[in-house]
Structure 1
Amino acid sequence: MSLPPHALPESEVLAGLPPVRAVDASEVATRIATAPRLVVLDDDPTGTQTTADLPVLTTWTVDDLRWALRQQSSAFFVLTNTRSLSPEAAATRNREIVRALHEASRAESVPYVIASRGDSTLRGHFPLETDVLAEELTHLGAAPDGVVLVPAYIEAGRLTLDSVHWMRTGDGLLPVGESEFAKDATFGYASSALPDWVEEKTGGRTPADKVVRITLTDLRAGGPEHVADQLSSLRDGATAVVDAVCDDDLRVLALALAAAGEKGTRLLYRVGPSFVRARAGQSAHLPLTAAELRPLRADAAHGLIVVGSHVSLTTRQLNHLREQHGDIGEFELEVAQLLDDTRREAHIQETAAAAAEALERSETVIRTTRTVVTATDPDESLAISRSVSAALVEAVRLVTAARRPAFVIAKGGITSSDTATQGLDIRRAWARGTLLPGIVSLWQPVDGPAAGIPYIVFAGNVGGDTALADALALLRSAA
């Protein structure tokens, strides 16, 4: 498929679309009331940021999964953090989760359907994760007929139109294959047209012309039953890619998926954040207010901000944070010292001690060096990222052990996952809502040492330049 080489005005890209087919979230909620529970295997914690009041697990023992299945919710998240893992480790983790989930499902008599939640800018272990999930489900007697790819993230401006995936920038809509995210050292790619991207990522195993395209015309003019017929035509793990420009498009898809499921079609989903909200029967929620945040804040004066993301947007957001909140403390973990075995531990301890002392006086930032360090080999680059993230997490553990913060903001996908699971020992939580429209999720931990400390998951690649400063301003207003 031929694509424009640069960003285009959004009005130009979205001109001439079929009229929106309005679907209320309550209609989806009613339709899915008896449908299998949606279990979202989230490859980093940022998939929760379009939803509210859904359970989150960071571990996947049978007991934990049984707890989640017993909650009165249409969906729940399992934080896998696989985007930070090697392909082999990611495959192993997915297998473990499916086997434990199947056992928990039988024990609770609650059926399930799996969504593998990946990045809305198309980074992550695809098709490895859906391949492994399909293989495990097949062994369990529930072989998927197809894989449905829906990467849209409406609030963040990640839109799919005519099977081409776009991202909103300051200059307009840019084909995602031309973005900085497509140049990722580990998960890079060239294609913006999803059928071509599927062919690229599968190494030609799934040719672009064999990918089923569900377009806005199908969703808006054809409607749920028409799309259900398209989905029901999938066989032998075939892939379908789905357009979405607004929540109504995704709710049409959710109704179609329910109809296809009622006809016996088994599907596996690979999705961005917005799909989860639609399939869970939720509408977009307004951000949490200061009054709603006030009872969630821990009994402490100041919060901790942990920044591991190195994308340029995060750096700009840090700059605005300094400008708007000039009284914050800021401490850097230098990557060069972290990769030096003779300096690593001392550097972590010195930085953490200084940050803990500053936390008594003001909000405090711990961040990594802004220049990313990579290797020529993708696996080595991922190993460097893991090493840096481990150091950041250790610093968080030391700081919070010395001084309890009022809240913790974690900036970056891998950062927010590792901080939750290793820095704060969060196992079970509820995603309560967002600090900004459709982005920046707040978790309420329900067990462990972090219980009572609101945990804010802030992806590296979302929000405007002032988003981090705005989020902090809201949290400060709740003091």
Structure 2
Amino acid sequence: MSVSLPARTGRTALDGLPPVREVPAAEVAARIAGGPRLVVLDDDPTGTQTVADVPVLTSWTVDDLRWALRQDSAAFFVLTNTRSLSPEDAAARNREVVRALHEASAAEGTGYVLASRGDSTLRGHFPLETDVLAQELAAVGADAPDGVVLVPAYIEAGRITVDSYHWMRTPDGGLLPVGESEFARDATFGYRSSALPEWVEEKTGGRVAAADVLRITLDDLRVGGPARVAELLSGLRDGRTAVVDAVCDDDLRVLALAVAEAEGGGVRLLYRVGPSFVRARAGQAGRPPLTAGELRPLRGDAPHGLIAIGSHVSLTTRQLERLRERGGIAEFELDVALLLDDERREPHVAEVAARAATALESSDAVIRTSRALVTGADAEESLAISRRVSATLVEAVRLVNAARRPAFVIAKGGITSSDTATHGLEIRRAWARGTLLPGIVSLWQPVDGPAAGIPYIVFAGNVGGDEALADALDLLRSA
């Protein structure tokens, strides 16, 4: 069932909007002080790219979660990497995290609110993850959510929502309905709808009708303000879905004040969000990128760094081309055909890793998968191929780090960066210290494992301009 929404185009999407209601980040920080901790279950590592000085876990033992709850931070991330998993495995992982978190929360005497962080271009296991989280919260004795709040905006990357339509900025500065983008044609998580209520109906297979989705618009946020939005949220019952507009951080900070008010009044909310909501809900303002001086103390042993590229989106390919043009790199290819061959896989990975480790003495080394995208007969088989290819790329990173600790490691692609962190570098606990570019490309400081002391750069496949990868590397080289 469709829902009647205002007609807008890429040229008119931002016309006639109400004026922005300015809300300082400090006002949100003061409002949430002493309240429950925001725990972000991130389906790949790139959700950290809007925040600074926030703990990150790649493991969810009770001890790890208690460590994170003890840190002086309004929020922390748990890297579940569920976007790379089958639906069954993703569901099981979410259940594991909730059970351990509930035990850790009780031990530390600290409350929590859950956010399921998904892709700002709407890929991922929705509604599966929010359904499972709601079920598991009830199973452990916590209150089941009254509503699920969907906020996919990612401001810096140009992913915005207006009149409940989700848009993405194009390289020429225009706006494209996200359902018409290459991301909507994803082999595993594809979709058709750009209107969020209709997208919810599509993804739930009609279980949730578009007309039953609560729409919180820019008029509510900017004209009605926190009181109006809190009133709307307080009316949610029985896990009803709400979708929220956002064009700038102030819109999200209005929402943050509203959800704090609603939750303070007893409403239990579960969130499915893009990266920008986390920063607003944590009471943080956008920060400038890290400087060369801030990066200088954070270097590994080798003179040069390692770049692992697994993403196959066209933007990543263009970014790699610009990186080649600037020079100073040695490039090594993992042939996907060999990676899928059981007999030839291991010697091929070992050879590439050995050559890359040697190259770190004289240049930055790029290890990439061959650019031809290999897909399976269906979404499940395509995901399995992606996992296998990612695992071999990660193994190459592990072998390089064992032979010669790089000055830094850049991982390009969501699944790539997650697997590299957890398996290639064996990071369990880290701090997201900030970004290399405005609002994108997060730098982690590992606090344990073989990568301790090596800056780890999480670079999503679908963000930044064509020069972004080269620009990030230039900054690292200047440190």
Say whether the fold is shared (TM-score over 0.5). yes
Q: Tell me which moved more, 102-111 or 138-147.
A: 138-147
Q: CA deviation at 1:357?
A: 1.1
What are the Cα deviations for residues 146-185 of structure 1, in whole angstroms up to 9, with x where unaligned?
A: 0000000000000000000000002410000000000000
Say whether the 8 Å CA contact 1:159–1:244 is kept in structure 2. Answer: yes
Matched residue, 2:335: 334
**What does 1:458-469 correspond to in 2, within 5 Å?**
458-469=459-470
For 2:438 and 2:395, locate their aligned partners in 1 and report how far apart those are by CA, in whole Å: 31
For 1:8 and 1:214, locate their aligned partners in 2 and report how far apart those are by CA, in whole Å: 21
Counterpart secondary structure, 1:295: coil
**1:31 and 2:39 correspond:** no
Give me the TM-score of the superposition, normalised by structure 2.
0.98
**1:104 and 2:104 correspond:** yes
Partner letter of residue 126 of structure 1? F
Say whether the 8 Å CA contact 2:5–2:163 is kept in structure 1. Answer: no
Q: CA deviation at 1:2?
A: 7.7
Partner letter of residue 315 of structure 1? T
**1:122 and 2:116 correspond:** no
For 2:304 and 2:242, locate their aligned partners in 1 and report how far apart those are by CA, in whole Å: 47
Which of 310, 313, 323 is the matching residue for 1:311? 313
Matched residue, 1:284: 286
Partner letter of residue 35 of structure 2? A
Matched residue, 1:200: 202
Shift in CA distance, 6/308, structure 1 to aligned 2, threshold 3 Å: farther
**1:346 and 2:361 correspond:** no
Matched residue, 1:294: 296
For 1:2 and 1:242, locate their aligned partners in 2 and report how far apart those are by CA, in whole Å: 16
Counterpart secondary structure, 1:430: strand
For 2:136 and 2:48, locate their aligned partners in 1 and report how far apart those are by CA, in whole Å: 25
Counterpart secondary structure, 2:137: helix
Give me the TM-score of the superposition, normalised by structure 1.
0.98
Say whether the 8 Å CA contact 1:6–1:175 is kept in structure 2. Answer: no
**1:255 and 2:257 correspond:** yes
Counterpart secondary structure, 1:13: coil
Counterpart secondary structure, 1:296: coil
Say whether the 8 Å CA contact 2:302–2:360 is kept in structure 1. Answer: no
**What does 1:398-409 correspond to in 2, within 5 Å?**
398-409=399-410
Counterpart secondary structure, 2:145: coil
Say whether the 8 Å CA contact 2:171–2:465 is kept in structure 1. Answer: no
Percent pairwise identity: 79
Matched residue, 1:136: 136
Say whether the 8 Å CA contact 1:6–1:174 is kept in structure 2. Answer: no
Matched residue, 2:85: 85
Q: CA deviation at 1:300?
A: 2.7
For 1:440 and 1:260, locate their aligned partners in 2 and report how far apart those are by CA, in whole Å: 32
Shift in CA distance, 233/447, structure 1 to aligned 2, threshold 3 Å: same
Shift in CA distance, 6/345, structure 1 to aligned 2, threshold 3 Å: farther
Matched residue, 2:224: 222
Matched residue, 1:158: 159
Q: CA RMSD in A?
A: 1.3
Counterpart secondary structure, 2:296: helix
Counterpart secondary structure, 2:462: coil
**What does 1:317-396 correspond to in 2, within 5 Å?**
317-324=319-326, 326-396=327-397
Shift in CA distance, 334/7, structure 1 to aligned 2, threshold 3 Å: farther
Partner letter of residue 110 of structure 2? V
In the alignment, structure 2 segments of 5+ residues that lack a partner are none
Matched residue, 2:13: 13
Say whether the 8 Å CA contact 1:321–1:466 is kept in structure 2. Answer: yes
What are the Cα deviations for residues 278-321 of structure 1, in whole angstroms up to 9, with x where unaligned?
A: 00000000000111111112243100000000000000000000
For 1:4 and 1:21, locate their aligned partners in 2 and report how far apart those are by CA, in whole Å: 22
Counterpart secondary structure, 2:114: strand
For 1:5 and 1:316, locate their aligned partners in 2 and report how far apart those are by CA, in whole Å: 33
Partner letter of residue 277 of structure 2? F
What are the Cα deviations for residues 216-248 of structure 1, in whole angstroms up to 9, with x where unaligned?
A: 000000000110010000000000000000000
For 2:301 and 2:282, locate their aligned partners in 1 and report how far apart those are by CA, in whole Å: 33
Shift in CA distance, 3/307, structure 1 to aligned 2, threshold 3 Å: farther
Say whether the 8 Å CA contact 1:47–1:117 is kept in structure 2. Answer: yes
Which of 183, 190, 203 is the matching residue for 1:188? 190
**1:453 and 2:451 correspond:** no
Say whether the 8 Å CA contact 2:6–2:163 is kept in structure 1. Answer: no
What are the Cα deviations for residues 363-420 of structure 1, in whole angstroms up to 9, with x where unaligned?
A: 0000001111001211000000000000001100111111110000000000000000
Counterpart secondary structure, 2:297: helix
Q: CA deviation at 1:213?
A: 0.1
Shift in CA distance, 398/5, structure 1 to aligned 2, threshold 3 Å: farther
Counterpart secondary structure, 2:17: coil
Q: CA deviation at 1:4?
A: 11
For 1:80 and 1:335, locate their aligned partners in 2 and report how far apart those are by CA, in whole Å: 25
Q: Which runs of 4+ in 1 moved over 4 A?
A: 1-7
Say whether the 8 Å CA contact 1:328–1:362 is kept in structure 2. Answer: yes
**1:74 and 2:81 correspond:** no
What are the Cα deviations for residues 324-383 of structure 1, in whole angstroms up to 9, with x where unaligned?
A: 1x2210000010111111211111111111111111110000000111100121100000
Partner letter of residue 91 of structure 1? A
Q: Tell me which moved more, 341-350 or 45-54.
A: 341-350
Counterpart secondary structure, 1:404: coil
Counterpart secondary structure, 2:166: strand
Q: Tell me which moved more, 139-148 or 92-101.
A: 139-148
**What does 1:420-439 correspond to in 2, within 5 Å?**
420-439=421-440
Q: CA deviation at 1:199?
A: 0.1
